[in-house]
């Protein structure tokens, strides 16, 4: 699987986020995009908020501004973008949750522009919940990463193994991911590692997920437009119970019974041959599962090099190619696509 960052580096970055994070509830009339198209301004606050790439997309979605037009204005006519955003902002009454980072030195950034029903499940709380469980249960962390939008931990139980066939062994583990800025649910999924090639495969359809949806947040005084979002005692108690459930899910995810189910599917996929032109099969399957044209050639190359012209071989070609993809988020998606491909119907691997 794709290498990530060190745990020490990620722990330091999460600590900075925890220290600098400031969540604000803002009424639409209290939010104003400045003419450079890159910052928001708040009432009676001289410090502007720099807008990260993700919140730009979230703003466009919320205000129903076509993304292509939004991006074109952002690149070539920022004052027009600001005019559009501000006009439509005045016509909505939906309170938003702004997830910002503020280092107190004039550097204030918007990480997420979200619904006031968004329930923050922070990456640093996830790390505090799961890392001790992984260590106490004997997991070995294979890869972890903190990107602009997601946090990942991938860990393996090296002693829980099963042979697909003689000399081809896989072990079971867990893939934990979360986005605390609105890109994805918190997810805990089984993960396998094939020992002869170190390919990782995420078993998407056996994942446990928790959406970031909660009670509507309403902490405004009667006349205020902006207020700090604080976690009340009820929500704090709910969060404590939730993180305990996450720990239990992580501990129960990587079992011999789970690995047996997965290996059974791998053995079935080995018996599904690729017939006809391999290049055409890769093209057809790629279009079906969302592999891009630029990724397709790498997958085909790994399929031919691997020499396994069957559904299992194509699945492993995809997970192997994931290691070549520069973007960690996309590489992780491809680790899940490998499992999806392995479960496609037999006719998808035949070209007449």
Per-residue pLDDT tens, the chain, 352 aa: give them.
888 999 999 999 999 999 999 998 888 888 999 999 999 999 878 889 999 999 999 999 999 999 999 999 999 999 999 999 999 999 888 889 999 998 877 789 999 999 988 888 899 999 999 999 999 999 999 999 999 999 999 999 999 999 998 889 999 999 999 999 999 889 999 999 998 888 899 998 888 887 767 666 655 554 555 565 656 566 677 778 888 888 888 888 888 999 999 999 999 999 999 998 899 999 999 999 999 999 999 999 999 999 899 999 999 999 999 999 999 999 999 999 999 999 999 999 987 6
Beta strands in 221-352 (DSSP E): 226-228
Question: Is residue 155 a part of any domain in this protein?
Answer: no
Going from the C-alpha of 134 to that of each of 168, 174, 240, 245, 274, the distances in angstroms are 26, 9, 18, 14, 39
Domain count, the chain: 1
Question: Is residue 305 a part of any domain in this protein?
Answer: yes
Question: Is residue 60 a part of any domain in this protein?
Answer: no
Question: Is residue 317 a part of any domain in this protein?
Answer: yes
> Which pTM does this prediction carry?
0.89
Domain that holds residue 323: 271-349
CB pairs under 8 A, 24+ apart, for 51-58? 51/109, 51/110, 52/109, 52/110, 52/111, 52/148, 53/148, 54/111, 54/112, 54/148, 54/149, 54/181, 54/182, 54/183, 55/110, 55/111, 55/112, 55/113, 58/112, 58/113, 58/114, 58/182
Question: Is residue 5 a part of any domain in this protein?
Answer: no
Question: Is residue 320 a part of any domain in this protein?
Answer: yes
Question: Is residue 319 a part of any domain in this protein?
Answer: yes
Question: Is residue 304 a part of any domain in this protein?
Answer: yes
């Amino acid at each position: 699987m794709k290498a990530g960052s060190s745990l020490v580096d990620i722990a330091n970055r999460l600590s900075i986020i925890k220290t600098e994070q400031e969540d604000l509830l803002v009424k639409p009339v209290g939010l104003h995009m400045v003419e450079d198209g890159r910052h928001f301004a708040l009432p009676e606050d001289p410090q502007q908020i720099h807008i990260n790439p993700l919140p730009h997309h979230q703003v466009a979605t919320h205000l129903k501004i076509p993304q292509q037009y939004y991006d074109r204005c952002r690149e070539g006519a920022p004052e027009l973008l600001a005019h559009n955003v501000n006009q439509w902002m005045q016509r909505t009454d939906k309170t938003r949750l702004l997830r910002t980072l503020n280092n107190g030195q004039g550097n204030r950034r918007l990480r997420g522009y979200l619904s006031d029903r968004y329930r923050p499940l922070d990456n640093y709380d996830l790390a505090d919940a799961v890392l001790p469980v992984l260590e106490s249960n004997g997991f070995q962390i294979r890869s972890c990463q903190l990107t602009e939008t997601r946090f990942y931990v991938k860990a393996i139980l090296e002693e829980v193994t099963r042979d697909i066939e003689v000399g081809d062994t896989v072990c079971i583990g867990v893939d934990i991911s979360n986005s605390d800025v609105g890109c994805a649910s918190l997810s805990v999924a089984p993960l396998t590692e094939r020992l002869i090639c170190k390919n990782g495969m995420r078993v998407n359809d056996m994942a446990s997920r928790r959406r970031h949806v909660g009670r509507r947040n309403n902490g405004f005084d009667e006349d205020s437009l902006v207020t700090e979002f604080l976690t009340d005692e009820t929500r704090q108690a709910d969060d404590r119970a939730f993180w305990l459930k996450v720990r239990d899910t992580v501990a129960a995810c990587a079992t011999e019974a789970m690995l047996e189910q997965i290996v059974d599917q791998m053995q079935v996929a080995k018996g599904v041959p690729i017939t006809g032109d391999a290049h055409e099969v890769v093209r057809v399957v790629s279009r079906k599962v969302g592999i891009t044209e630029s990724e397709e050639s790498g997958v085909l190359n790994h399929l031919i090099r691997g020499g396994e012209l069957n559904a299992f071989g194509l699945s492993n070609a995809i997970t192997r190619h994931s290691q070549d993809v520069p973007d960690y988020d996309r590489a992780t998606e491809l680790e899940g696509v490998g499992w999806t491909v392995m479960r496609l119907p037999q006719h998808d691997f035949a070209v007449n």
